[in-house]
Each structure stands twice: as C-alpha cells, then as structure tokens.
Homo-oligomer: A and B are copies of this chain.
Amino acid sequence: MRETTLRDVADLAGVSPRTVSNVVNGYAKVTDSTRAKVEAAIAELGYRPNVLARNLATGRSGQIVVVVPYLDTPYFAELLQAIIPAARKLGYNVLIDQTDGDRQHEGELIGRGSRRHLFDGMIISPLGLAQEDLTARDPSLPLVVLGERVSDGTFDHVGIDDVAASTEAVAHLIAIGRRRIAAIGDQPYPTGEAAQLRTRGFRAAHEAAGLPVDESLIIGTARFNRIDGATAMTALLDRADPPDAVFCYSDLVASGAIHTVLGRGLRVPEDIAVIGYDDIEDGRYSQPTISTISPDKKAIAQLAVDRLVLRIAASEPIPGVELRAPHELVPRQSTLGY
C-alpha cells in the first residue's frame, strides 16, 4: 500500500496540491475554512510529508552534522547532548560523525565529500586543523568550529576564553598555597593551539602572582585522555622535586593523574592538589571530586547552532566571528579537600 501523498490529500480536500503544501508549511495566506478542510483530510488519511522529496525540491537537507574526535569522551558526549535539542528546536536533525582523532579524516570531512548534500552545515570540534586542511575545504559548506582558533575568516569559532579560564584555574592553586605547580597537556606544535592557550594562562597566573615558572613542570601529552594524565603524573612523581599541584588540561587527564597519585599512596589534595578542565559529570562523583573549569556547554551549543543556522540562511558569504561562551571555576575536593 502506497504512502499517502500531497496529491491524495488534495483530492480528498478538493483543493490543489499546492494549497495543501501551503497548509503543511504554514505558509502564505490560507483561509481558515480552506485550512480546516485540508487539515481534516490530512488527519483522515494520516498523511505525513515526505521529507526526502521536500529536500530535493528545496535543495536543503534539514540536517547538520556534528563532527567530534571521539563520542565516548564525556566532554563531547555532553556537548552533543546539548547540541541535538538546540538544533532540533530550529528544525534541524543532527548527524554525528567521529573522526577517531584522525586529522586526515577531519580534513576530508570539511573537504568536497560525497556526503555533502546530506547536510546543510557542519559543526566541527577538531583535534587540530592545519592551515592546509582549510584551504582544501569546500567553500560551499557553512562551518562553525568549536575550540580551535585557526581561521581563514570564512567560518566561525565558538569557545570559552581559554586563556582567562586557565589563568583562573592556576590562580586558584596559588590561592590555596601551592607554589610548585605543574601543567599536563601542552602541545607545542601548530595543531595544538587549544593546548597552548591553556599554557599561556598557566604562565599568566604565575606572572600575576610574581611566581617563576619552572619550564620542566610543563608536560606535553599527545591527547587529553586518562592514560596521558596517568603517564605524565608518573613522570612528575619520579622526579626528585615533584610538584605540589597540577593543572590538567582536561578532567580526564586530571582523573588519570589522581589515579596515579593515589596509587603511590599519596593524598589529593594534601600532597598534590589537582585541577582539571571541562567539568564532565565524572568529576562530580569521582573520589575525590575534581575541581575544574566549567565551560557553559549549553551556551556553546546554542551559540554554535544559532550561528550555523544563520550562516546556512545567508545568501551572501558572511565573515567569520569569534564567539565566547561563559565559563566558571568550580573548586571541589581535589583542591579544597574534604
């Protein structure tokens, strides 16, 4: 049995298909009586519009794609959880792609891919986009980038003020009396700009407090996972002069670091205070609970979606902007104690 179409409804209601379309879309001026007739017919036949056909006719898919490195990283999962309803509210479905942290994959996604017609725009949270990825990108693809700051001026960024947030985090460690503070997560190469901003905040806080920075306490990591935090922390604890506090560039890193500290029989925060970044749900339940920088994920999601939809609707290319979502310092047990 065929699905009922616009035409079926039109026949039953005694109007033209075009009028049914107008009713369905809430468009134009339709008399109340006509609308009533059509709606009755729709209800009677159980009609539902064929989105595929609409997509072809309008040339728009009504879908946006969100690209994240890993779905099972809590920060991204929580972000997605915020993006999906925000997009849905504006009439967009969300497709999700994960790159598995593969930069080449990221480059392909913003390039001229064969799936281009499936989405009207893209929100991407890259691990690190290189300049050459950008030049190869499909110029017809409305794009909003989360986190990264690199840009060619044709797309938008949404993020928090990483430098300010990092400065606050480290200032907090200083405020609770710590003087030898380590940083875990630096990435001193072109695609690691997000990490570098945090390192900049780390330095700024020291400077503001008149403290010297021990460069050897800035530990680089390839990623922001638990294992990276655990590994880095092991190296720090193996030193003759271990730190008394650690600023971790993600809560996962902090979790891994704490794991190592406790495993050595040391205490958090008494021996080593730890602060993270992202405010993932885990950190509120782990033992100890993790002090952190909490980005306003709902705001990030809303800003990104709004901006993307604006960009999709725009007939002219619009210049890229930098959008800042709020953040706040959330001290918990890993710095304050119990």
Query: What is the minimal beta-carbon distance from A189 to any residue of chain B, in angstroms?
Result: 27
Tell me which of B48, B52, B81, B255 contacts A56 (CB under 8 A): B52
Which residues of A252-291 are within 8 A (CB) of B? 255-256, 258-259, 262-263, 281-282, 285-287
A230 near B285: Cβ-Cβ < 8 Å: yes
* Number of A residues, CB within 8 Å of B: 48
Instruction: Answer whether residue A18 sits at the interface, using C-beta atoms and an 8 A cutoff.
Output: no
In the complex the two chains form, is B70's CB within 8 Å of A81's CB? yes
Indicate if the CB atoms of A72 and B61 lie closer than 8 Å: no
Chain B residues with Cβ below 8 Å from A226 are: 281, 285
B287–A287 CB distance below 8 A: yes
Question: A54-68: contact bitstring with B at CB < 8 Å (1 yes, 0 no)?
Answer: 011001010100000
Q: Does A133 contact B (CB under 8 A)?
A: no
Q: A84-B71, A285-B259 are in contact. Are A48 and B114 (CB under 8 A)?
A: yes
Contact call A52/B49, Cβ cutoff below 8 A: no
Q: Which residues of B contact A112 (CB under 8 A)?
A: 46, 48
**Are B51 and A118 in contact, CB atoms less than 8 angstroms apart?**
yes
With A84-B71, A259-B287 as known contacts, state yes or no: A50 contacts B96, CB within 8 Å. no
- Does A165 interact with chain B (Cβ within 8 Å)? no
Cα(A114)–Cα(B53), bound, Å: 13
Query: Measured between C-beta atoms, what is the minimum distance from A110 to chain B in Å?
Result: 15
Contacts of A50 in B (CB 8 A): 56, 117
Q: How many Å lie between the Cα of A51 and that of B115 in the bound state?
A: 7
- How far does the alpha carbon of A262 sit from the alpha carbon of B94 in the complex, in Å? 41
Identity of the chain B residue whose Cβ is nearest the Cβ of A75 in the assembled complex? B72
In whole angstroms, how far apart are the Cα atoms of A255 and B255 in the complex?
A: 14
Is there an interface contact between A51 and B117, defined as CB atoms closer than 8 Å?
yes
In Å, the complex CA distance between A256 and B289 comes to 12
Contact: B71 with A116, CB < 8 Å?
no
User: Are B61 and A52 neighbours in the complex by a CB distance under 8 Å?
Assistant: yes
> Which residue of the partner chain B has the closest CB to A62?
B118
Alpha-carbon separation in the docked complex, A264 to B106 (Å): 47
In-complex Cβ contact of A258 among B117, B255, B258, B287 (8 A): B287
Which one of B48, B78, B262 contacts A72 once the chains associate, using CB atoms below 8 Å?
Answer: B78
Min CB distance A286 to B, Å, is: 7
Q: CB < 8 Å: which of B74, B81, B115 contacts A74?
A: B74
Question: B residues within 8 A CB of A256?
Answer: 285
Asked whether any CB of chain B lies closer than 8 Å to the CB of A21, the reply is no
Asked if A321 CB lies within 8 Å of chain B CBs, one says no
**Would B93 and A93 count as touching, CB distance under 8 A?**
no
Q: Can you name 4 extra interface pairs (CB under 8 A) apart from A51-B115, A70-B81, A95-B96?
A: A56-B56, A71-B81, A93-B115, A230-B285
Q: 4 closest A-B pairs (Cβ-Cβ)?
A: A72-B77, A226-B285, A71-B81, A77-B77
